Structures are given as C-alpha cells and as structure tokens.
Amino acid sequence: MLSAGLQIVIFPLPNLYWFSWIAVAPLLGAILRARAPETLQLDGQARLLPATPWQGFVLGYVCGILWCAGTCYWVFDTMHRYGGLPIPVAVLALILFCMYVGLYQGLFGLLLAWIAGRQADQRRALVAAPFAWVAVELVRTRITAAPWELLGYSQTGNFVLTRLATLTGVYGLSWEIMLVNSVFAAAFLVARARRKWLLVAASGAAGILQAGQWIAPAPASGDHTALLVQQNIPIQANWTRDYFESTLRDLSDLSVKSAADGRSAGQADLMVWPESPSPFYTSDPLFQNAVSAMARQAQTWVVAGSIGVVAAMHNGGQGSQVFNSAALVSPQGEWVGRYDKVHLVPFGEYLPFPRLFSFAGGLTKEVGEFSRGTSRSPLDAGSTRLGVFICYESVFPDEVRQFAVHGAQVFVNISNDGWYGDSGAWKQHLQQTEMRAIENNRWLLSATNTGLTAAIDPTGRVVAQVPRKERSVLIAPYALISGTTFYTRHGDWFAYLCAIISAGALLARFVFPTRER
C-alpha cells in the first residue's frame, strides 16, 4: 500500500517526483521479506524469507491495482460522462481496467520471487530487479499496449538525467530509478552493520541524480513559427447545421486574424488545428472549402485534425473506411497529404472483442469506429517534413521514433484532451509527449482541443503555451532538426537487453541455485 501510494504521487498532478527514488522500495521489501514462519541465520542475524512465486504475484498485483486506481481514476469520468455508462457500470469498468493494468506489477512480483527462489538469494533478486522492471515495461508497451506513465516519466523534467533517454529511451530512466530503489530496499534486508552505509549511498545517489531537475539547459532557439489553434470545442456539443457553420467560421476567422497579426514578427510557416470532437469530414465540401480559403488567406501550410473518409469505390468495393486523420493543406489551398492514425484507442476509437465488451459500446459511438492507418511517413510541407501523430500515439516510444527515422524534422501531436476533463490525465499525457521530444532530439508542437497547447523544445521543456480551456492561438517557435539520436536509430535495444538479462537471471536461479547458509 505504501509503495502504491508513493507511485501515485510521483506523477501529475501531485507531481512529487522526488519520491520516485523510494517509491518501489517498499514493494521490493515486501516481496523479499514475505514469509514470516521460516527464518535463516545470515551473518548472525535472523532473516525472513522471500515470497513464494504466488505470494510475489499477489503482492505486486495488489500494488499495481492500487497504483492504477490512483493514477488512472479519470477512466471512470470518461466512461460515465462521455461513454454514457451508468455509475455502477463505469465503476466496474474502472475496476476491470485496474485489474488488467495491475497484472504487470503482478508479473514483476512473480519474476522477483522466482529469481530469489526458496534459497532466499535476496541479493540476486535485488540486482535483477531493475532489469526485470524494465522488461515488464517493455511487455506493457510492445505486446499489450498499456504503457501509461512508465516509471521513467516521473523524471521527464530532470534535464540532466533525461540525456540518458537519447540513448535508451524512457526505459533507461526507469532502470536508473529502480537501481536506487533496490539499494534502499537492500538497506533494510542486510545486517544492521551495513545498513547505514547503504542508506548513505542510496540517499547520495538519489540526491545527485535528482539535482538535474534544477539545472536548466541553455535556452533553445526556434527560427520557425507555427500557429497552434486551441479550439476549445465542447465534447458533447449539439452539432446542428447552424452551430457547425458558426464554429467553422469562428475558427477560420480566428486563425486568419492570428496569421495577420503575427506577420509583424515574421511569416508563420505552419498552422495546426487539433484533433477535436467536431464532425470535420475531409469529404465535406463545406469543411474543405473553409480550410482551403483559410490556408490561402493566411498564406501558410495547414495541418487540420479531421475525419478522413475513403469511399467504397476507392476501397476495392469493401465498403467505406473512416479514419482519425490529420490533413495537410498547402498555402494555395490544395489538399496534398493526410496522416491516418495507426494506433487506435481501445473503447474510444474501436471496440475490441465486441461481444465481450458490448456494454462499453456507448463510448465508441460517441467517438467513432475507425479504421487503422498503415503508414508513419512524414507529411511533406514544402521544404519541411512533419512527423504528425495523434493523441494516444504519443505514449508509444518506438512508434513515434519511426517518424524521425523516416526523416521528420519536427514533431506535431494533435490531441483532444477534453475527454479527461479537469483530472490530472491531461498533464500526464503532456509529460509523456515531452519525452518523445527528448528521445528523438526534436521540437514538438502539441496542439490540443482544450489544452495544454504548447511548443516543446528538444530538452522536453515547454517554451510557449496558452491557458487551458480557452479558444485561442499560440504563436509557437520551433526549429527543424535532421540528425538522429542513438535511440532514434536503434529503438528499444536497452529494454530488450533488460529482458534478456532478466531471462538469464531466471535461468540461473534454476541452474545454479544458491545454497542456504
């Protein structure tokens, strides 16, 4: 329970990130001191035995469920308010979600108990713990797609420590945090004579590593300008024809006026409309004409969040397809490209296992039942290559880096964070989006419907923003970068290495069991 509570507060909105260095230590101690009836004599001192694999799983699972409930509590409001689920059913949905996500910490507890074994090799388990934790995070991300707030994200604002992410991705930060947690846990598992020195070492390491939070990098300068339009469209608006036309007109006028006002400081290179709950179909002539006219008047490239449609006649006769899209419009008003979202949100953009989860269909109907895109190629806006990804896609490190691999010079994330309301989820999402800028050394333009709309530099720092829940335009600086980081080129190599080491530690536990003393 203590470990779950500490893991909750290290993420926004509490954002007590300095607790990350001890947040998992109580869980490690619980797993490695779980069996009270048996004791061993080690260095002259009685010691409790580690958990059995089943006990390790239960301890980790309970911790994971509690952490998820405290971090992803906003799932209830989303399912109830926007999914149309009755309160009891929305509560059940949150419980089921927590029981699912909690399985990963359960898996970690199982691995740790297995590695320790009945021979009580706590030292081997503590050495393996950082590798096992990262291996489980890799499973969360790559296999079952539930990577919300990995441990390393708690240090996104640590400008010195995050240099590691350009090599290893966010997983390297998770490993570093777990290493310090393991030393803190070891201090309470070894003989009393060595405890003081372990505590001094762990505290010193945590202090030095955390100090990077207050060492600000040199300001990054942007030689390009984007206009990020924060539309602030209500999630549950009543879309009559009059409301549709007036909203489209207001947004177009605001965008053109902002472009005209900004010309005194230089021509804007790009204008971005975010993902939103509006029925802006790329096949709708009214929407097409309005955006084309806006691009011509503003004399700039436009990325417009929209609903992309492929008619049946262009789909081999297999029926129409609908995509969550970002359309690219030239300064001449021509529609020259489109990115279709590849990684869809389960229950929000499609319904997995429809028969099993038919009770959650209301949420999908509110948003749409979308098809998956097939390409992560950048959009060519003249001499600029834009890596555009949509909302939830920003939490997948390996997927976002592929835009940079294919030549994207600046990242653009369009998102509709209105689904989160005033919960901490919008800040959690922003924190994870910032890490994508860090890993790939790219400027990132984050255009959202309700906020926070921001320009993020390659160190992950927000250099410009507008207040949330206001219809406004951010004049966002950015620069074009063509080079690639080690992580961009090689992806999740470090996480896979941790998985291999974890498998080796597990194998060693069975092949070379430690004898009791």
DSSP track, 421-462:
TTSTHHHHHHHHHHHHHHHHT--EEEEESSS--EEE-TTS-E
Which of 72, 391, 399, 439 is flagged as catalytic? 391
**One-letter amino acid for residue 129 of the chain:** A
**Token pair of 156 as six digits:** 């996104």
391 is catalytic: yes
- Residue 341 among the catalytic residues: yes
Tokens of 293: 């006219």
CA distance 26 to 36: 16
Structure-block tokens of residue 514: 């430690």
Establish whether 63 is a catalytic residue. Answer: no
Cβ–Cβ under 8 Å, residues 277 and 416: yes
Q: Which of 341, 393, 434, 498 is catalytic?
A: 341
Find the DSSP H helices in 139-188: 165-168, 170-187
Q: How far apart, in whole angstroms, are the C-alpha atoms of residue 515 and residue 211?
A: 41
Report which DSSP code applies to 517: -
List the one residue out of 277, 309, 271 whose CA is nearest residue 291: 271
Dmax (CA) of the chain:
82
* Catalytic option among 137, 176, 275, 434: 275
Calculate the alpha carbon distances from 2 to 18, 110, 120, 205, 325 in Å: 15, 19, 24, 22, 43
Q: Which of 275, 260, 230 is nearest to 464 (CA)?
A: 230
Say if residues 248 and 290 touch (Cβ distance below 8 Å).
Answer: yes
Neighbouring CB atoms inside 10 A of 122's CB total: 26
Q: What angle do CA 244, 466, 216 make, to 5 degrees?
A: 150
CA 279, CA 80: separation in Å to the nearest integer? 22
d(CA 430, CA 452): 8
454-476 b/e (C-beta count within 10 Å ≥ 16 → b): bbbbbbbbbbbbbebeebbbbbb
Spell out where 207-255 has E strands: 224-230
The H or E element that residue 65 is part of is: helix 53-71
Q: Which of 264, 273, 269 is nearest to 410 (CA)?
A: 269
What is the β-pairing status of strands 410-415 and 384-390? parallel
Just list the catalytic residues: 275, 341, 391
